[in-house]
């Protein structure tokens, strides 16, 4: 029979290993220093960020921008009812946050946010200076000389005689 080695490739596995070494295996409460999961996409000239905040009420979410750093802070309470025997509690709880450094091509003065079903959606438009735009090419003016034209054609012999 072969044994398959799976390296510790996630923070949760490493945390469980350390807890086991410290004699805290199976502790009923998770660590509260986790980051908020986020997806970021660019669509139609906007950067759109989706922050997962399940079980967090809208009034427990704080969103701020300082310089080019977008910060989301949230708090999810967890208090077992009196008499509850907790076997395990893996969902994140407590205070947690996430910071995203925004590019200088984004317009941080026009940020908008919405919160629905535990998902905070933050929209940051690309600044107008950074957007691709078409530049018209102008042509140099043609150099022309003006000539006076008479209404009646003259014959070359007449012109010579008058000179």
pTM: 0.59
Q: How many CB atoms lie within 10 A of CB 147?
A: 5
Q: What is the dihedral of CA 16, 21, 26, 32, to 10 degrees?
A: -50
Q: What is the rounded distance in angstroms from the CA atom of residue 17 to the CA atom of residue 34?
A: 17
Q: pLDDT digit of tens for each residue in the chain (163 aa)?
A: 334 444 444 555 666 666 556 555 555 554 445 688 999 999 988 999 999 998 899 999 999 999 899 999 999 888 788 998 888 877 777 888 999 999 888 999 999 999 999 999 999 998 877 666 677 888 777 777 766 766 665 555 555 555 4
Q: What is 32-131's CATH topology?
A: Immunoglobulin-like (2.60.40)
């Amino acid at each position: 029979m072969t044994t398959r080695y799976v390296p510790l490739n996630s923070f949760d596995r490493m945390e469980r290993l350390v807890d086991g070494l410290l004699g805290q295996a199976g502790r009923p409460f998770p660590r509260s220093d986790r980051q908020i999961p986020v997806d970021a996409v660019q669509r139609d000239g906007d950067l759109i960020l989706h922050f997962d905040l399940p079980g967090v009420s809208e009034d427990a979410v704080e969103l701020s921008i300082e310089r080019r750093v977008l910060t989301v802070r949230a708090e999810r309470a967890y208090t077992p009812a009196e008499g509850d025997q907790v076997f395990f509690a893996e969902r994140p709880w407590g205070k947690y946050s996430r910071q995203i450094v925004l590019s200088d091509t984004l317009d941080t003065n026009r940020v908008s946010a919405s919160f629905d079903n535990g998902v905070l959606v933050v929209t940051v438009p690309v600044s107008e200076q950074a957007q691709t735009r078409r530049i018209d090419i102008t042509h140099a003016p043609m150099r022309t000389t003006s000539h006076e034209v008479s209404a009646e054609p003259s014959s070359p012999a007449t012109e010579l005689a008058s000179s």
